Structure 1
Amino acid sequence: MIDTRATLDIPATLAEIAQAAAERTLPPVESWHPERTGDSEMRIAREGTWFHQDAPIPRPEMVRLFSTILRREPDGAHVLVTPAEKLTILVEDAAFIAVAVASEGEGEARRLGFTLNTGDPVIAGPGHAIFLRDEAPYLHVRAGLEARIARPVYYELADIAIAEGRDPAGVWSEGAYFPLIDA
């Protein structure tokens, strides 16, 4: 497995994550509907490694580039889309992994900023919910794309939830409450 996290410049503070999120612009993949379709021969493994023809993609810059043109279709399939073509990509679990979190504030005033394995910043809140599926934590990234929250990051969230003592145990971010256990 190639660890792309080693090459990421992970923001240390929530302000840095929020600034990166505000400055990030993505291609308008939702408006592209090319006629040419096919198979990219790519997959994203459960642990977040991107492969092409069963070989890991070694350059984090390439993974970041591909992640910007990733789209989830209404039927749940994942595709890489440009104005010229749409190619399927197999996603074994989630398209991204949340590898770091920064927290600011307490209780209902808390904000949680996540950094994904592609370097993307996401601030959890009403538009970017934290949720459980099969008892595993995930984060909504954009337009149906999700990030599985890495175990060390989940433990940080659990520490926050335990310290705040809510029932059910969970965390606040941007005024929204996200339970961390199935009630």
Structure 2
Amino acid sequence: MPESTPPPDFAGLSLSDIAAFAADNRLPPVEKWNPAHCGDSFMRIASDGTWFHEGSPIGRLAMVRLFSTILRREPDGGYVLVTPAEKLSIAVDDAPFVAVEMKVEGEGRARRIAFRLNTGDLVVADAAHPLRIVERDDGPHPYVTVRSGLDALIARPVYYEMVNLALDEGADPPGLWSEGSFFALDAQ
């Protein structure tokens, strides 16, 4: 199992520090592990990012961080917690992560945008970690890709920060650049 170290102080990091930290975040090779399905974990990730076990919230962030490192999306769209020895289903209401804070450096094409997730993980928006908006009956749902098949729902206040940045720049369609990629903020 990977060690669960406390997340860095997001506010005190530069975008270069964040990019280096995100790139160095070594995760177990869950995509290579293919044990037989063993059952249900009796866990659920709510749409606000709260992790539950048997209906009770998991209060220890270190436990949530540890479980998040062995989370994988299956080809059928389901989610599992996987180790070399077992694979357990986990229910996910929306996305397994929530982007709760954003940091921006630069402007226009030279901009870099980083997000801190509810697990403390850091993600820099780029071609491999795109931003996208999904329109639903209850309005837009913004996401950033965290890693293979796993997304973070961008918290509403953070989304409003993104929209304000895009509107201030006046791009048509409204959108943002990060790490050389343009991300339209209209629904797909």
Instruction: Give the unaligned 5+ runs of structure 2.
Output: 1-5
Q: CA deviation at 1:11?
A: 1.2
Q: Match of 1:148, SS?
A: strand
Q: CA deviation at 1:181?
A: 1.9
- Specify the code of the residue in structure 2 equivalent to 1:133: V
Q: Match of 2:10, SS?
A: coil
Aligned to 1:56: 57
Distance, in Å, in 2 between the alignment partners of 1:44 and 1:71 is 13
Which of these residues, 142, 152, 173, is aligned with residue 157 of structure 2? 152
What is the number of residues matched between the two proteins? Answer: 177
CA RMSD of aligned residues (A): 1.4
Q: CA deviation at 1:15?
A: 2.5
Aligned to 2:181: 176
1:87 aligns with 2:92: no
Instruction: Give the unaligned 5+ runs of structure 1.
Output: 1-6
Q: Which aligned pairs between 1:20-35 and structure 2 lie closer than 5 A?
A: 20-35=21-36
Q: CA deviation at 1:8?
A: 5.8
Aligned to 2:3: none
Q: CA deviation at 1:22?
A: 2.0
Aligned to 1:17: 18
Q: Percent identity?
A: 58
Aligned to 1:37: 38
Contact 2:173 2:186 (C-alpha < 8 Å) held by counterparts: yes
What TM-score do you get using the length of structure 1 for normalisation? Answer: 0.92
Contact 1:10 1:115 (C-alpha < 8 Å) held by counterparts: no
Aligned to 2:120: 119
Distance, in Å, in 1 between the alignment partners of 2:107 and 2:114 is 14
